[in-house]
Amino acid sequence: MVAVLGVSGLYHDAAAALVVDGRIVAAVQEERLSRIKHDASLPWRAMKACLAEGAIAARDLDEVIFYEQPFVKLERILITTLRRFPRSFGGYLQGLKSQLRDKLWVLDRLADGLEISRGRIRSIDHHESHAASAFYASPFRDAAVLTVDGVGEWDTTVLWRGRGETLTRLEGLRFPHSLGLFYAAITAYLGFEVLGGEYKVMGLAAYGRANRVDALSQALRLNRDGTFELAPHFFDASGTSELGFTPALEGLLGPRRPPGRPWDLTDETDLAYADVAASAQQLLEEAMGAAARWALERAECDHLCLAGGVALNAVANARIAREVGADRVFVQPAAGDAGGALGAAIVGALQRGAARPPPMTTAALGPHVDSTGLAALADALGLSVGPCPDDATLAVQLLEGRVFGWMKGRMEFGPRALGHRSLLASPFDRGLREKVNRLVKKREPFRPLAPSVLRDATAPWFEEAPPFLTPFMTTVVPATAAARQALPAVVHHDGTARLQTVSDGPFAGLLEAVGHIGPAPVLLNTSLNGAGEPIVATATDAAAFVLAHPVDGVIVGDLLLSRRRVRRGCT
């Protein structure tokens, strides 16, 4: 047996992943278990959950691999801040303290915490972890691989060639020239939280006009060869500012938007900020498209794999799939740092002679739903538990306007709820989009909600469904005229939808039942969590969600948890 545990952490989105004999056994994000959004700590809970899923003990592991190289990262932090000394002295001390306290000795901490020898713990390159998570999980034997994020050790963008069981680095761009840092700075400028609010910029962009591209091109210059450069005086790459940008960016674009102020897209001031989002999004798409072409040409491949935090930009992925000339595109569904744990585990397993894993066809790699003790918990909290309605009954209730949480099977890995830890509603009622966004999720009104549809029933409603992207919601697709009229709750302002196609499992059964009763086998699907919370992981989390949010219940395995008494299996 070859068993390798991959670990990411100490920056954001900590996670663990277990690969045994060439099979991805489990992958879990720490935030789901700690209940701390984007938890950056060492993922002890996630490691324990992975080992439990594989029914092995830490002593049975051949290796534990950390997803980046701490000493090389320390080198970058020290060199970068010292170049700007003495202005960067505060950032120098902060970076040094963080690295020495938490990160530099991470391999020793893993050995101590898992109670295994230090010789079985090692680290690999950050972007190699990203590349492995995408290529080895893809269905391709040969592919160009592009990894794009804020920064790893020194790299921000790397091109790879994947062939069989090997990844070869071809070229890379180094810090501070980074699309991730560019988009993070715009995220902060618009008043959103960095490393968590970037997807809000993507959603807001649909409401704006890309009329600030010329101005932003002074900050991000795109070169003809597919590379790009950040103009350093617009960005704070030293870590001395939480914003990531300098006053020069406000001189270019105007004052930043105050964080926390409610959005009103009928207001000219907020529409001007939407224009900045649209312009930044367009520049990002152009940069990513050029980099993807560069990767395909340099690797001399027809298929493309993407990973790194920037690859979570579903709108940019859609343009890449549509325009760069790749036969097929695969994006690792946990493209950010969480996915680095999976890539690290696969690299370690391959290097020990294990087979390459089968293609990743599901992101359901976390713990199973466990409803043991739910009845007693519900009774103590004044909630009701009863048998889950059958698919036909639940479909009727959803189409009548009810909103249900849906917890079935194993928890998803990555930021998207894909029918295992989802919040479901009818897509046919425009008012439900406002209800879910404003009353349940308590989030900005411009945020889109996604449709889930049976894979074989997409054609009347959506114009294209890339086969390796839509199962994981890693792209957007144009909605047809019929969908814009019939599915108003799940079609975004720009006429697109972040589509999930579903082919099997309990969720497919529910969609089929909806299709028998309603106009289409489609449901509104968003993540089962409240504002600022991680996606619900356990039955206890489900109970807390029901208590705190105006939903009609949460289905937990074969049970229905609700505030009201359950009669004849229904609410």
Query: What residues are labeled active site?
Result: 12
* 226 three-state secondary structure: coil
- Determine contact, residues 530/380, Cβ cutoff 8 Å: no
DSSP assignment of 314-328, as one string? HHHHHHHHHHS--SE
* Alpha helices for 119-222 (secondary structure H): 126-135, 179-189, 198-205, 213-216
- Would you call 78 exposed, middle or buried from its count of C-beta atoms within 10 A (0-12, 13-18, 19+)? middle
Question: CA dist 183 to 50, 81, 149, 299, Å?
Answer: 33, 21, 10, 27
455 token code pair: 């894979």
Task: Specify the DSSP class assigned to residue 302.
Answer: S
* 264 three-state secondary structure: coil
Sheet holding 559-562, edge to edge: 384-387, 559-562, 554-556, 404-407, 421-425, 522-527, 450-454, 500-502
374 token code pair: 């739910």
215 token code pair: 């101005």
* Alpha helices for 83-123 (secondary structure H): 89-98, 106-114
Residue with tokens 């704006």: 208
How many whole angstroms separate alpha carbon 435 and alpha carbon 474?
A: 25
- The amino acid at 395: A
Largest CA distance in the chain: 72
Residue 364 pairs in a beta bridge with 412
Contacts of 51-58 spanning 24+ positions with Cβ under 8 A: 51/5, 51/18, 52/367, 53/18, 53/25, 53/26, 53/366, 53/367, 54/3, 54/18, 54/20, 54/25, 54/26, 56/3, 56/18, 56/20, 58/5, 58/114, 58/115, 58/116
- Determine contact, residues 244/232, Cβ cutoff 8 Å: no
CB neighbours of 183 closer than 8 A, spacing ≥ 6?
198, 201, 280, 284, 310, 313
- Determine contact, residues 507/525, Cβ cutoff 8 Å: no
Is the N-terminal amide bond of 466 cis, ω within 30° of 0?
Answer: no
Residue 233, sorted as left (phi over 0), alpha (psi -120 to 50) or beta, turns out to be alpha
- Output the CA angle 402-197-507, nearest 5 degrees: 35
User: What backbone phi and psi angles, to 5 degrees, belong to 353?
Assistant: 95, 5
